[in-house]
A and B are shown apart, each in its own frame.
Chain A
Amino acid sequence: MKTNNTGNDIRMWTPATAAMVLVMLAGLGVMVYRLISGLGASTHLNDNFPWGIWLAVDVLGGVAMAAGGFIIASMVYLFNMKKYKPITRPAILTAFIGYLLAIVAIIMDIGQPHRIWHPAVMWQIRSVMWVVAIHVMLYTTTLALEFSPMLFERLGWHGAVKTVQKIMVPVVLFGALLSVLHQSSLGAVFLIVPGKLSPFWYNSKLPFLFLVSAVMMGLSMVSLETILSARIFRHPVDMGIFTGLARALAGVALFYFVLKMYFLVTGPGVAAVFSGSMEANMYLIEMALSVILPLALLLGTKMKESLSGLLFIDVLVIAGVLINRLNVGIFGLYRHNATNGQTYFPSWMEFAVTFALIALAFFIFKMAARHLPLLSSETASEH
């Protein structure tokens, strides 16, 4: 075995990290406040807007961001695309962080945090939410398993690493299965509100659209973080990985675009997009960011050759899909929910928690990069 390739050389305190810690501390304070004084005191949620940004951004968005984990793991372990092996660990770590933080967000968001375990024993198989809950539990466990070699390696438990690696293929397969179901289930959550969710987003294949857009998001996330860590942590990375990811992204985005167009034409119609309504504008922004611009840039030659170009595209897709989740979770429901005058704009505390969770994600990633063998011994040996 080679030496652990941890990033001990990464500087602990940078201004960005300090800022992150501040944001995290503020968020932590708010979370404590939330837990002792309740949702009404800390959020602007109300009877007409039972769900806010914690759900739309932290949960829906966070989970979509985590899709990279199962995509890369599947590519490597199931489709045997060895090329991507170097980025498996960061991808899995991202997913793991994503899910852990989504769980934190859920604990903050549900009215009875201490009953988070109820779905495990109180079954209601007709409920998509129950399906989601079960998936989250199983998949987080799965991710923990997928992630464990990093820890074991760091601890020097090589036997354990071996054992886990032996069962990695079925574990990854199980994880992929859960992810497919889970990503789509989050879309399925909204199947029950045909009258409420704007037709720009509501359609019977909402689960599938969620899945496909999550794949886009996952690919972009992996690409983004790899580029970033390559730059920040000075990890050497094969350019082929990026172009491969970009190609995959282009394919999925094209597919997604076709799907979205199909549902636009068969749904509200193309003309509706230019009606100038809030929904139409949000739809336009979402589409522009998540598919139209990225596709245009990807199909053009220049951009995908430069890391900065790819980075930009990744940011676009991530923002676009996030806006999609916001659109489904908040904006698409807004008109219906606000008919009687009640409105929703998140409280500063909601923002604080959301930002804190994002900061926490970055922070954990950085700590992991610093202290764990993010680039596994295997990968290190091969490159």
Chain B
Amino acid sequence: MTNHWIDFKNADVILIMGSNAAENHPISFQWITEAKDRGATIISVDPRFTRTSSKADIYAPLRSGTDIAFMGGMINYILRNNLYQKEYVRLYTNASFLVNKEFQSPGKLDGIFSGYDAEARKYNKTAWAFQAGPDGVVKKDPTLTDPSCVFQLLKKHYARYTPDLVSSITGTPKDALLKVYEAFASTGRKDRVGTVLYAMGLTQHTVGTQNIVAMAITQLLLGNVGMAGGGINALRGESNVQGSTDQGLLFHILPGYLPVPSADLADLKAYIEKNTPKTKEPMSANWWGNRPKYITSYLKAIYGSKATKENDFGYAWLPKTDPGMNASWIMLFDQMLQGKFKGFFAWGQNPACSSTNANKTRKALAKLDWMVNVNLFDNETASFWRGPGVKPAEVKTEVFLLPCVSSVEKEGSITNSGRWAQWRYKAIEPLGKALPDAEIINELQGRVRKLYAKGGAYPDPILNLDWNYGPGKKVDITLVAREINGTWMQDKEIKDAKTGAVTPYKKGTQVPGFALLQDDGTTSSGNWIYCNSYADKGNMMVRRKKDDPTGLGLFPEWAWAWPVNRRIIYNRASVDEYGNPWDPKRPVIKWDPAASEGKGGWVGDVPDGAWPPLKTADGKANPASKLPFIMKPAGVSSLFGPGLNDGPFPEHYEPLECPIEKNPMSKAHRVNPAAKLFYAEGKGKPEDIFASGSASYPIIATTYRVTEHWQTGVMTRHEPWLLEMVPQMFIEMSEELAAKKGVRNGDRVRVSSARGEVMAAAVVTARFKPFQVMGSTVHQVGMPWCFGWQYPEDGSGGDSSNLLTPTVGDANTMIPETKAFMVNVEKA
């Protein structure tokens, strides 16, 4: 999130799209309800009417997988009706940037941008670059009238998304569509602010990333980013998923969003060269310019004294991906099915139920020699070899189940979606022989190290690890937290560039903040964005003070937020050139000329850099200032984003499986042209088959969660109180579809896709309505995915809806498309 949970209360309009906040993040509704009490308008955009929708002032249904069309219409509405925040767009976005003249967009090229290579399903992005002057600075047109400027391109691109066309793509009734547009666009006014809350309803698509980009463009046009009550807010998932992403859980990032090196980057210099953005923009802070300090400090954290300037700080020991390699979830199981893996750690997960196309996944597990399952419970993954249709005798995979302790039985930090790292203490003693995950890893490392000490293929990365988190087998988790923050590896004196004052730092003390991290090996930091979380004076994450000086709910001394305790990021975009808040009612920060003994300073939240406002009080540009979007090379936000795989502007494409034959926006390109396809007519593995526009599977399906269960249900299906409330796999369908299929409430229904089938109890409801799409009626159904064959033991729960979902993912992230696919429904 750019903002944080409590901040929702500051919004005037809350667009909840692709999230079912009331059911999946019930606590968020504490703040949404507070906003409502203040008179805020709540909007829910969801294929079905949810518990969230029940609390919305405006509800708009849309067919799964058509959010870009919906948001494209919104962008068009904002631009056509001049409702954007003009100063904001001019100052803080790249609206004025001139794009290469040869750049062409899908309106011209029938659904694709310039540079498409159909064979490779990839773009050559050179045409997407900005025009630069001889000084290397991007050419701009502050009047926003040049036909090559981002603003005009944007306008042209989205002019195609007329309300009528959008309505016939999305199935959203036009009046509902316009109601949403009108309400949300009202936040383009300086004194009104809107926020968007999204989650898996937007991301689990072949166009997942672009869905969010469309949101971002909308928010930037309306001047809502950086504002209290604004921003783009992902209501994240597993309780510590934010923390684990921060710490490099994903295959392509190291902790602190440092890219994972690929094998072609032979040394640290090459890595830095490749991954450190440069800019000629004079006013840009270009914070990623500090990448060398962060990667070096990271290497120092993991290899300690073994990392020296001479050995590239151990860069060579870092594990690397092959160039262009994609090691995402779908790919892993695809490779596993092909027998490419010997072993697999299923650590705190249940892919046999959570993974898209679970039949394929279950098959893949049987190709392993061994699997280690670290979990609280046995689950469908650990027991896959005795699942439905599996003959245990035919499975060679050896399975090890390591019991671990639950979150309340161990100490440590959890980072919530609002980037707040909150420390938790152990509440109860663990049962039996279960260990905290950290201690399991600790012991694993110890044993592997012992083996390598005796010799091995390439022992250096293991033997050079600086690994000491406490005596014996116990792990002192605060030592891990300290290492993540970073320490001085040597005594060092730092000279302030401006004042010349010198501050000495002692070896072994904590680095106070990432601005002090060094690229010469004098500092370590396991994760630069967490630098400042564990200071010498103590663990910042344990703080629990309830003071709220701004009244905006920032609670600066409650826990700690990355970066440097900033609660709302890009907050310097919430003020005008003089440092005065756009909305004086809700000042996140404000320039106070009297602060710092008359030198002036920011008050409020921790600003995105202490630089003064863009202009001095007399209206002159202040050369000491920096633009607010400090993580962007140009210092401004991107309405035009040339970095993604599938285009600089979001464009509507249909899901891999959809009910219509052609993409109404393009004759030639039904599906995201940059998305990897695993199956094409006659080509590919049978497991990856899909069926779009097929009469056999004419009904759109989506999957989602229920409040009462957690994820695949391993932690909730054992819990009788929860099972009592939602005991069985169900399928929600409209009264119209039910009538057509002769299905009544509670009936058992067989749901099938090209890949599998599940049984479910029918929930017939007016909360699902058929859609009018391109002139015909299509039906949609929805299912939870919290059940599995293992519990409840009598099998009454049913199996996972992922037996139905396809093998395909987003063109950028490869997140599986589990929110839109096609099925058939028959009364069992």
Taking the complex as a whole, does A directly touch B, i.e. does some CB pair lie under 8 Å apart?
A: no
Residues of A within 8 A of B (CB): none
